[in-house]
Structure 1
Amino acid sequence: MAATDPRKFLLDLYSSAVEAVSPQKCLPAFLPKPSPNGRTLVIGAGKGAAAMAKVVEDHWEGDISGLVVTRYGHGADCKRIEVVEAAHPVPDAAGRQAAGRIMEMVQGLNENDLVLCLISGGGSALLALPADSITLEQKQAINKALLRSGATISEMNCVRKHLSAIKGGRLALACAPARVVTLLISDVPGDDPGIIASGPTLPDPTTCADSLAILEKYNIEIPPNLRQHLESGAGETPKPNDPRFARNSHHVIATAQQALEAAAATARAAGITPYILSDGIEGEARDTGLMHAAIARQVAERGQPFAKPCVIISGGETTVTVRGKGRGGRNAEFLLSLSVALDGYPGIHAIAADTDGIDGSEDNAGGIYQPDSIKRATDLGLRPRAMLENNDGYTFFSTLGDLVVTGPTRTNVNDFRAVLIL
């Protein structure tokens, strides 16, 4: 299959990866049993939160109620759990209002009650409740600066926790003394549950000083009230030794590794040997593109470290330090960098797409590279290297008709990349 239709092969790998980490497949086995003596309240946030809530409704025995917040366009047809849609990656008033309502809902619970918290990637922006001394506009400005800075997801979420009234374990404390069970779809390299969506129900080992150091590292200016909030320790989060977390539990139900393994199985079934590089690659997307291109050429020219035909698969969350004014997320940036580096080298094809169906803030999941991509682009008057410098990967692949457009997948384990060498 791969040799005759590389494009379909790569799209099949991506589809297999996404399906393997869908809430329908992963969540039911982790539902707590038996039902509690008291109430069951379902809350949550993330791009997969509504789909997760629908699975809970379909499988839960007993009464449930609650509210989850998801990105615009990522809702689901829930009957008993309210679904609110809000903005991502920069928070808006709808996300702030939803977060406030969730905090109100969990007041007055007792030790017989259960709070089921459904968390997936995107929850940091969607569950936006700034600390008392901070405005939503200030949080939006910090979010935008962090997104453009090249900061890693763990660094961004460290800062977010210490400017929030709900993240970094504060939501769990508001639920006490009820028991909190958190189910998470991981979008962070390493699958640390405390980093996913900035860990609203998990204790936080990081500090206000860590946040200040990150802001300084990326030369992000902050207003005096935010600096005071962090320097005074007013933004400190509850720590792992806090006894109020003792009865709570959490389970990471879907990861990038699961997605990569599913894609690898699909490749083997098609007669192509897969090699998983890593499920946690970070760093600049364009540098990651150069690295993948170099490995692909080594395989093609020297049969090292793998023999062709094969497919190299990887995941993780790269970053883009925005310097230009073009369009495109990190997957388009990765793929354009790889395209420029390979420069039409024969027999190499690639896909890069986000498992949530949205590359950055665009309408595509990612794109596909083919050996003739650079030639076709040049024939159309495009300048690939200049477009890479302008962070304009979306325009490049859109012009070629090589965007991958899926719509929201309602899950999120971050980037999926596959490089096929024939």
Structure 2
Amino acid sequence: MSALGATILLFGLFFLLLFASVPISIAIGVSAFVTIVAVLGWGDATFILGQQMTGGVESFNLLAIPLFIFAGNIMNSGGIARRLVDLALVVTGRIPGSLAHTNVVANMLFGSLSGSAVASAAAIGGTLHKRQVEERYDPAFSAAVNISSASTGLLIPPTAAAIVYSTVAGGLSVSALFMAGYIPGILMGLVVMAVALVFASRAGLRSTERVGIHQGLVVLGRAVPSLLLIIIVVGGIVAGVFTATEGAAVAVVYCLLLSLAYRELTRAAIGRIITETVAATGVVMLLVAASSAMSWIMAFTGIPGAITETVLGTTSSGPVVILLMLAILLLVGTFMDITPAILIFTPILLPIAEEIGMDPVHFGMVLILSMCVGTMTPPVGSVLFVATGTTGVSIEKVVPKLLPFFAALIALLLLIAYVPALSLWLPGLTGSLE
């Protein structure tokens, strides 16, 4: 079977199953299996599918994912989120619309520690919602701010998205990807704050009561143990003290000890956290296994090379190629979650990016930021649904409020895509780039 025929069969069946509401991991596995059967026959297909799915999850780096999920769940139940919200309120308390800015800063802090946009949207949105209602904030606006900023944790390390991308991209340095995420992640938060400030000024939203120096220091002191996690984990990985997986294990132990010290982690909560971690890990690993089979059949039939030749045959202009990739990624982000999108489209688009001279670390940041935007858009925006479910605000009311944030983040995506230094300066400064 030719590369064109394999492409039509593989992706045609995949999208058909998606539109039929088949779970994405099943859609990936079935489409990969059918294509392998068509190319190699039934006997070889069953052996190869099992081999590739098993081999796909046999990665030491991937062990970091369940550990970071476990750490994030502990933080969500152990009183850490509330202390970070208090710190964010001290930082942003004098800005008009301070509760909106508190939401953004808290999402940046909690998201960077938990590595989960969904967990951040639920924890921070749920913590601030009642107070925002009391301060007469528009619930739809508050939800839009929460949705737009929750995904900063997918960029600011430690983040599972960078670990997944590192694995699919052929073992790129995790420390380089971690350092590359800081500037885009912080800029993402600042962009959301800028849009929120404009809205708050027009709506006449006031700042909260000023916090005295003594009280501010007390709040900072309570939050410092949580913030030390970033220094310990990310600093240890970048310095080469331990790997990303070992850093994730350190994060679990640290979060567990910290939550026990806060005396907010009950025995029942620990059981629930373990159950939630196992369930989330199962979903991610099934996606990784199925996507490994899809990646193998794409490589075997030459699909990435054929797509690369087609795109570069259409135009040789690097900026135009980048624009085409951004359009594809934004479209993908509207109906696919970040993990399967990284697993499926990295083997397809990374060769194109490298062909036009784009650094793989830079492309990774562009890919992850594109998916961050996708988490806030229907019909499959995971953060959108979690945040609206947490606050009880209908999606119909939130989406219009999201449009200015969406436009601002698209502008940021273009900036990150066309200015490589924003992603590569810190990794180069720390010597993380290979």
The alignment's TM-score, normalised by the length of structure 1, stands at 0.26
* Structure number with higher relative contact order (C-alpha < 8 Å, ≥ 6 residues apart): 2
Kindly indicate which of the two structures has a greater share of residues assigned to helix.
Answer: 2
Kindly indicate which of the two structures has a greater share of residues assigned to strand.
Answer: 1
